[in-house]
Structure 1
Amino acid sequence: MKLSLTATIKKCILLLVLYLCFGISQKAFAQVDPSQKNWPDRTVLPIEPYQKVGKVAPTIKGSDPIDWPKEISAPEGAPNVLLIMIDDVGFGATSTFGGPIPTPNFDALAANGLKYNRFHTTAVCSPSRAALITGRNHHTAATGIIMEFSTPFPGYNSLVPRSVATIGKILTDNGYGTAWFGKNHNVPDWQSTPAGPFNLWPTGLGFEYFYGFLGADAHQFRPALFEGTKPVDPYFKDGKVDPDYILDKDLADHAIHWIQTQKNVSPNKPFFAYYTPGTAHAPHQAPKEWIAKFKGKFDQGFDKQRIATYENQKKLGIIPADAKLAPTPADYQKWDKLSPGMKKVAAREMEVYAGMLAYCDYQIGRIIQSIKDLGQYDNTLVIFIMGDNGSSAEDPTGQGLTSEIGIMVNGEVDTEEFMLKNLDEFGGPWMAEHYSHSWAHAMNTPYQWDKKIASHLGGSRTGMVISWPARIKQVDQIRSQFTHITDIVPTILEAASIPQPTKVDGFDQTPMAGKSLVYSFDNANAPETHKTQYFEVIANRAFYKDGWMASTTPRNLPWQGHPVPSEDPVKDYKWELYDLTKDFTQSNDIAAKNPEKLKEMQAAFMEEAEKYKVFPFDDRYIDRVNPENRPNLNKGRTQFVFHEGTSRITEGMAPNMKNTSFSITAEVDVKAGQEGMIITQGGYFAGLALMLQKGKPTFSYAFSHYPNHKWTIQSPTALTAGKHTIVLNFDYSGGGVGKPAKATILVDGQKVAEGNIEKTVPSRFSADETLDVGEDFGTPVTRDYEVPFTFQGEIIKVTVDLKSN
């Protein structure tokens, strides 16, 4: 033993001498470098590149080569991911789930994948989108309500915490190429201008590329888009509006190009494309030829359509054969109560909606075909969510409306005469209509209630299809396990063999609430893993547990923009109870027969509500929209100075020129006859504009798109060449909101024109059009000029002064 030990010691000494004397490369020792054993640790992001240690001497000759740093790459075999989510599409809208609108590409994915008929969203837009990209409950992501209605409480402030990393960030840091196309609606209202900050924009949340819009909706023909953080206006061609432009096609074109570039340059690098076009949220707009495909298809009305869809769903096995058609609440419009003229209007509205959704499905088909053409389809995980919530019933009259902002938000009422006269304009750029709330209810068949009603399945349950040819072999089947929108991120991560991170950018991560759905791919009867889930939006509440669902009875209808808030939302809401194992459509309230079970479910909901920052309950809606309710760099500010080229200032950050007096002072330098926009806010459906028309100072104001809601005050004479000061004084009559005003134009201190504005905008100019200086984007305030109407002279500065009444 002593001789053996002595020999070993001698060998070690000899090796040490050889290393010190002859410079044996340290590369031999790099193989046992302890840091390499733990690389990559995908639970801590971002991941530093790993570099093996070699010998570095004062000279190249005395040094050994060192390997290049090894950048992180996705796990071997990780799939491409195409995540698709459509907007405001109910469970019973598409042909895939038994509805009347043909969606052949959605159908094809289902035939080559799996249909999930118990998939749930949060029941409203921004919350669903926050839950989708984070895997957490929407209140955990500080998005308990849409961004414009945020309040300071932790679950509602719209500032997504750094402890809640997105799927874009996780996949980018794990070696994926990542991009987001289409609707965002997850940027705080006061951070959505080109001035930033940008940390909560898609590129700030970890997505490498973004092409889309930030707000609740977009005009299909003239959208306000961003590429990254840069405003772009793709509907302009050679300085004019391109009559052939449409958003759905543009988004698909960009997605196809991005995917092709990814695979052309880095064929072995998987991509993650989040495609969420905003269709079919209002405004409902589509190419004329696609609307024409549905002429006469909905003349039977929404009541008969609901029954037809229900029967077809049973026939296709989408719902159980013994499932009941949930009752329609009595407050909904009945087809037979409409006049013959309004039946024509309502049918046309549904034709437009169907054309819009079918056209969107066609564009998605182009994206999928491009992936097939690249030879990437087999190893592409496609998750297609048909609806971020149920279809939208945000129409207060039951006859539909021609402008969501003008009618629902600002309180105007459409007339049958106007709607019939402009029937051919429906679906085009000069209408921003929304269909009847009863069409929405028909699109949510077989359930009751709609978008915003998180307590009931009509608001929360939508159709989903998952396709992955390389992995899913039991295709063209239905999966009926309870699933939730928070399950999508965990599903993607398991499919890619990537763990959920515990730390991102130095911030400890809140655990994900969702459960992976990979377990369901091979087994239709696998026990569901998402066993409990709370729901809450605008104080509408529900709790799911092991097949049971307790739900509050809605106090306010989906189309009530200004409901009377409850004094005590905890006590003022009645509760219902359903056994969904026997009652697939949530149609049989058994609360009276099971009082103890209901108490158990109510108590469990309150525990979850406290855990996930759901308190306080708040059933206000549009009344929350006042920008004074949110952080505002303009708070207390009464003077705003703008310069030429300032654009895309959102309503939350623009001077609040509603329900108050104000003045606009423009200093300009012109040549005789020059014209163009000085300053504008909003557009055709509600807005104001100070401009020169053929050299004449002109002020136009639109309460809505109705001809009798547009007023123009114009100087009789044009400006002479040189510098001038133009002042617009807007004297509000006061005494409430939306009251009349008097507008006066002065040039160089002399009054040149005045006129009355009989009705002013009380709540909102626009959901997508902004304040711009020196040109106009989107739609014009009146059709007396066309965008961009760029100012031909020089705007030295424009000052807006707000005045108290």
Structure 2
Amino acid sequence: MRCAIGCRLAGFSLAGLIALSPAPAALSQTAVAPSAIPQAPAARRPNIVLILVDDAALMDFGAFGGEARTPHIDQLARSGAMFTNYHTSPLCSPSRAMLLTGVDNHRAGVATIEEILPPSQKDKRGYGLKIEPGVLTIADRLKAEGYRTLMAGKWHLGHGEGALPNSHGFDRSLALDASGADNWAPKPYMPYYTEAPWFEDGKPATMPKRFYSSDLLVDRLRTYIDEKPAGAQPFFAYLAFQAVHIPVQAPKAVSDRYKGRFDAGWAAMRAARNARAKSLGLIPPDAPTTGMPQDARAWEALTPEERAVYARAMEVYAGMLESMDASIGRLMRHLEDRGELDNTLFVVTSDNGPEFSDPVHAPGMNIWMPLNGYAWRLDGLGEPGSLNFIGRDWALALAAPSRLYKFYTTEGGLRVPLILSGPGVKAGARIGAPVFVTDVTPTLVDLAGATGNPAGAAMDGRSLRPVLNGEAKTVRADHEPVGIEVSGNAALFRGSLKITRVMPPVGDGQWRLYDLAVDPGETLDLARDRPELLREMLKDYAAYEARVGVAKLPPGYTTQQQLMANALGRQKGSIAVMAGAAVALVLAGLGFLLLRRKARR
């Protein structure tokens, strides 16, 4: 008998328990709670909903120890499988390319993001920053198997004719063709963009003047789902939220639920998350952890006004997560009303770790923001017209128990949550095997019962079915390498071993070696003690670079400088118009003064 969502959420959620207790009991590695979603008959192909959160940290969901209330995501975690050793790429577009194709980002055509692409790489294969011909998305693959394919949310995988979702297997799509946008109105969030480019089915979309992004995306996806009667045809739906990407925005009433929750500051949050990571079994109880780095700002050194603004920024961040979760709940209820919830497989994950950028204090933003209807102040923070962000110090705290954050191939940039729940997934599973973003598409194709093998680039990932059903403890042998590279930041994994390189100005560009089984926080570099192992893994990485076609960066390259240069290049037209208008105003003013002087004579 089907259990209503209200029945499933009647008990305490993990988020609620965590909020009530500073040191929750460790979760079982094998079982959490009995399944509330009965398994669908094997002959009935499941619907699939792939939910991608933007810039969420490993511990942001309640089930993973987060502060925000995420009862619907937590329920999917309890009724399905939680992957606690899942790695993605450090940047959004490469991650999305790998997630949707099962192919390494360079082979897929999206080696990095256009905002930081140097001119010397633009003509290189894999750096076109759109999905390459012959690379199939999961929508392509499932559409060939008779699925309806639907999408709502951020795309950021290429522009123009032939690059948008309608050209990559999606029957219906509402897509944001940018790295982000305002959540309350169809407008850009940074000077790199002159507009918020929304497209529906490949054509410019007419957007409402006012909306909230999480609600809008779920509403549109529900409309697409309702275009066919329940059970008439299985569907695949890709729901790519703007939460919690900059600008961090949420309804005031939701943000207000977290008043005072973050008043102790970022060092206190990182310490609390480190402790919860151990009590929840995300890291070993004896694993070394670190606090805030020495160059972080001391919370106590901020003025009371600064502390109020930054604490409110995190209240809005939590509110944005809760609002997104509420929209997921509305989608689940809608599927339940259609009688399709029991036969829907859900995937929930993040594209990379938390965002550290501070756009507000970047050069020129004091001019750009008022011209585009933005302000940064405590009153109304996160509401319409507010360009809110959390910044580096909160990102360092959110990334606990890991090191650094988005953009970098440390665990803070790569290790994020992954949940699978629904038909074919055992309830209450906790899976600690190393798995990667390229494994998601082959897993979903497998669980969908796809039998065909359409022509296209071979996938790099592997199906997770063996670890999901308990047939195997790992997907890969410990000696099998998996490489990742984005704009010079790179890593290579072999079992629990990892080498990583962090580029300037945050890092020094040197390779370091860690054993994540005992040191998931990357606190002890083993490179000097195990030089032969480092050399072996560097050979593996060189082979990876050659196989996928990693292009060299120009001397002195940094992402920050390239972003500024590319943004100025994009804005040349508007800057010229603004300059021309300013000159015209000055000339008009001078002319007026000359006329007045002449009239007086």
Q: Could you say which TM-score interval applies, normalised by the shorter chain? A: 0.7 to 0.9
Structure 2 residue aligned with 1:656: 573
Please give the alpha-carbon distance, in whole angstroms, between the structure 1 residues aligned to 2:286 and 2:471. Answer: 20
Please give the alpha-carbon distance, in whole angstroms, between the structure 1 residues aligned to 2:363 and 2:450. Answer: 44
SS in structure 2 opposite 1:573? coil
* Aligned with 1:621 (options 551, 555, 559): 559
Matches within 5 A, 1:278-427: 278-326=242-290, 328-385=292-349, 387-395=350-358, 404=359, 406-408=360-362, 410=364, 422-427=377-382
Please give the alpha-carbon distance, in whole angstroms, between the structure 1 residues aligned to 2:260 and 2:486. Answer: 36
Matched, 1:231 2:204: yes
SS in structure 1 opposite 2:328? helix
Residue by residue over 1:162-193, the C-alpha shift from the partner in whole angstroms, topping out at 9 and shown as x without a partner, is 121111112112210001111111124xx3xx
Structure 2 residue aligned with 1:173: 144
- CA gap 1:269/1:577 in 2 versus in 1, 3 angstroms: same
- CA gap 1:332/1:82 in 2 versus in 1, 3 angstroms: same
* Aligned with 2:429 (options 474, 477, 480): 477
Instruction: Point out the more displaced range, 307-316 or 128-137.
Output: 307-316
- CA gap 1:653/1:555 in 2 versus in 1, 3 angstroms: closer
* Aligned with 2:458 (options 511, 520, 523): 511
Please give the alpha-carbon distance, in whole angstroms, between the structure 2 residues aligned to 1:104 and 1:752. Answer: 65
1:519: Cα distance to partner? Answer: 1.1
TM-score by length of 2: 0.82
1:429: Cα distance to partner? Answer: 1.6
- CA gap 1:118/1:743 in 2 versus in 1, 3 angstroms: farther
Contact 2:270 2:291 in 1 (8 A): no
Please give the alpha-carbon distance, in whole angstroms, between the structure 2 residues aligned to 1:409 and 1:513. Answer: 41
Structure 2 counterpart of 1:434, one-letter code: F
SS in structure 2 opposite 1:378? helix
1:221: Cα distance to partner? Answer: 0.9
Contact 1:576 1:589 in 2 (8 A): yes
Structure 2 counterpart of 1:248, one-letter code: S
* Aligned with 2:130 (options 159, 177, 194): 159
Contact 1:553 1:576 in 2 (8 A): no
Identical counterparts, % of pairs: 29
Residue by residue over 1:668-716, the C-alpha shift from the partner in whole angstroms, topping out at 9 and shown as x without a partner, is xxxxxxxxxxxxxxxxxxxx5xxxxxxxxxxxx9xxxxxxxxxxxxxxx
Contact 2:402 2:520 in 1 (8 A): no
Structure 2 counterpart of 1:217, one-letter code: G
- CA gap 1:499/1:325 in 2 versus in 1, 3 angstroms: farther
* Aligned with 2:228 (options 238, 262, 273): 262
Contact 1:407 1:413 in 2 (8 A): no
Contact 1:390 1:462 in 2 (8 A): yes
Contact 2:149 2:235 in 1 (8 A): yes
- CA gap 1:611/1:412 in 2 versus in 1, 3 angstroms: farther
Please give the alpha-carbon distance, in whole angstroms, between the structure 2 residues aligned to 1:137 and 1:355. Answer: 34
Contact 2:89 2:414 in 1 (8 A): yes
Matched, 1:597 2:533: yes
Matched, 1:102 2:51: no
SS in structure 2 opposite 1:318? coil
Matched, 1:115 2:82: yes
- CA gap 1:745/1:485 in 2 versus in 1, 3 angstroms: farther
Structure 2 residue aligned with 1:134: 101
1:730: Cα distance to partner? Answer: 4.6
- CA gap 1:412/1:378 in 2 versus in 1, 3 angstroms: same
Give the gaps of 5 or more residues in structure 1: 1-74, 192-196, 237-241, 396-403, 504-508, 559-571, 630-650, 663-687, 689-700, 702-727, 732-741, 755-805
Structure 1 counterpart of 2:213, one-letter code: L
Structure 1 residue aligned with 2:489: 540
Residue by residue over 1:291-348, the C-alpha shift from the partner in whole angstroms, topping out at 9 and shown as x without a partner, is 1111111001111111111212222223322222245433332323322221111101
Structure 1 residue aligned with 2:449: 497
- CA gap 1:500/1:427 in 2 versus in 1, 3 angstroms: farther
Please give the alpha-carbon distance, in whole angstroms, between the structure 1 residues aligned to 2:354 and 2:520. Answer: 19
SS in structure 1 opposite 2:345? strand
Please give the alpha-carbon distance, in whole angstroms, between the structure 1 residues aligned to 2:307 and 2:361. Answer: 19
Please give the alpha-carbon distance, in whole angstroms, between the structure 2 residues aligned to 1:753 and 1:431. Answer: 39
Contact 1:341 1:420 in 2 (8 A): no
Contact 2:63 2:74 in 1 (8 A): yes
Please give the alpha-carbon distance, in whole angstroms, between the structure 2 residues aligned to 1:628 and 1:579. Answer: 38
Structure 1 residue aligned with 2:216: 250
1:409: Cα distance to partner? Answer: 6.4
Matches within 5 A, 1:17-32: none
Contact 1:729 1:745 in 2 (8 A): no
Larger radius of gyration: 1
SS in structure 1 opposite 2:416? strand
Please give the alpha-carbon distance, in whole angstroms, between the structure 2 residues aligned to 1:421 and 1:259. Answer: 38
Matches within 5 A, 1:454-465: 454=409, 456-465=410-419
1:624: Cα distance to partner? Answer: 3.7
1:380: Cα distance to partner? Answer: 1.3
- CA gap 1:546/1:500 in 2 versus in 1, 3 angstroms: farther
Contact 1:479 1:524 in 2 (8 A): no
Contact 1:487 1:514 in 2 (8 A): yes
Matched, 1:523 2:470: yes
Please give the alpha-carbon distance, in whole angstroms, between the structure 2 residues aligned to 1:205 and 1:140. Answer: 16
Contact 2:101 2:441 in 1 (8 A): yes
Structure 1 counterpart of 2:339, one-letter code: G
- CA gap 1:433/1:532 in 2 versus in 1, 3 angstroms: same
Between Structure 1 and Structure 2, the one with more helix by share is 2
Structure 2 counterpart of 1:574, one-letter code: Q
* Aligned with 2:392 (options 419, 423, 437): 437
Please give the alpha-carbon distance, in whole angstroms, between the structure 2 residues aligned to 1:597 and 1:573. Answer: 19
Please give the alpha-carbon distance, in whole angstroms, between the structure 2 residues aligned to 1:753 and 1:348. Answer: 49
Please give the alpha-carbon distance, in whole angstroms, between the structure 2 residues aligned to 1:652 and 1:173. Answer: 41
Please give the alpha-carbon distance, in whole angstroms, between the structure 2 residues aligned to 1:554 and 1:478. Answer: 34
Please give the alpha-carbon distance, in whole angstroms, between the structure 2 residues aligned to 1:307 and 1:77. Answer: 47
1:413: Cα distance to partner? Answer: 11
Q: Per chain length, whose mean CA-contact separation is higher, i.e. which structure has more relative contact order (CA < 8 Å, sep 6+)?
A: 2
Please give the alpha-carbon distance, in whole angstroms, between the structure 2 residues aligned to 1:499 and 1:579. Answer: 39
Residue by residue over 1:352-408, the C-alpha shift from the partner in whole angstroms, topping out at 9 and shown as x without a partner, is 1111111011101111121122222222111110x210001113xxxxxxxx2x533
Please give the alpha-carbon distance, in whole angstroms, between the structure 1 residues aligned to 2:518 and 2:414. Answer: 19
Please give the alpha-carbon distance, in whole angstroms, between the structure 2 residues aligned to 1:604 and 1:372. Answer: 48
Structure 1 counterpart of 2:85, one-letter code: R
Instruction: Point out the more displaced range, 227-236 or 210-219.
Output: 227-236
Contact 2:249 2:383 in 1 (8 A): yes
Please give the alpha-carbon distance, in whole angstroms, between the structure 2 residues aligned to 1:85 and 1:532. Answer: 26
Contact 1:391 1:459 in 2 (8 A): yes
Structure 2 counterpart of 1:119, one-letter code: Y
